[in-house]
Structure 1
Amino acid sequence: MATAESFLVPDVPHFELDTFGEDSGAVALTDPTHDIDGDGLLDTQTFESGNALVVASDMDGDGDADHLTTISDDGAYAAWEFHRGPDGVARWEQTDDGTLGNG
């Protein structure tokens, strides 16, 4: 069975779960270890932040996460997408949230 420990890498991005939100800046991936889209390039990194597992993916290959999902120890999760407007202003948009549980 896969556990959070089996996906951890020693060099993790700078990320603060408690302060992350729409106005947070780019999250640079420091050491992608997974190829989520199967194109042969490592694009995803998993790491811990506080009491949560973070899955961050760089789908456009620029070195910064485009998609980010957090899953807390209590089952709360949130999914985010990174956008940069024509004016260069960066922002994160929350695309999903909820609580994992027995269904």
Structure 2
Amino acid sequence: MATAESFLVPDVPSFDPDTFGEDSGAVALTAPTHDIDGDGLLDTQTFESGNALVVISDLDGDGDADYLTTISDNGAYASWEFHRGTDGVAQWKQTDDGTLGNG
């Protein structure tokens, strides 16, 4: 039998795709729902933010996203990877971008 808990939406990270960039800092993975690397641990979460679908993954298990991809409703996408320098400064590096579509 379905209960109210069956329909609860998990917490989503504080994230704005319109302002996200290299200096955005760490993004906490709040409620992973998928295991994309097959190790038996939930490490990935998908959610909507603004006009974008966001997919974030924490593959090293520290609670912060290591990989982030946004896909806007117009088909534009961007993928990012999180790095922390030896000085402790956090930075995102864009690894891919483009537009999905027929072609």
TM-score by length of 2: 0.90
Q: Which runs of 5+ in 2 are unaligned?
A: 1-8
Q: CA deviation at 1:62?
A: 0.2
The correspondence of residues 4-43 of structure 1 with structure 2, limited to 5 A, is 9-43=9-43
Q: Secondary structure at the match of 1:38?
A: coil
In structure 1, the gaps of 5 or more residues are: 1-8
Offset of 1:10 from its aligned partner? 3.1
**Aligned position for 1:50:** 50
Aligned residue pairs, count: 95
| Cα displacement string for residues 19-52 of structure 1 (whole angstroms, at most 9, x for unaligned residues) | 1000001000110000000000000000111000
1:65 partner letter: A
Quick one: percent identity of the two aligned structures? 87
Matched with 2:59 is 59
Runs of 4+ aligned structure 1 residues displaced above 2 Å come to none
Q: Which has the larger radius of gyration?
A: 2
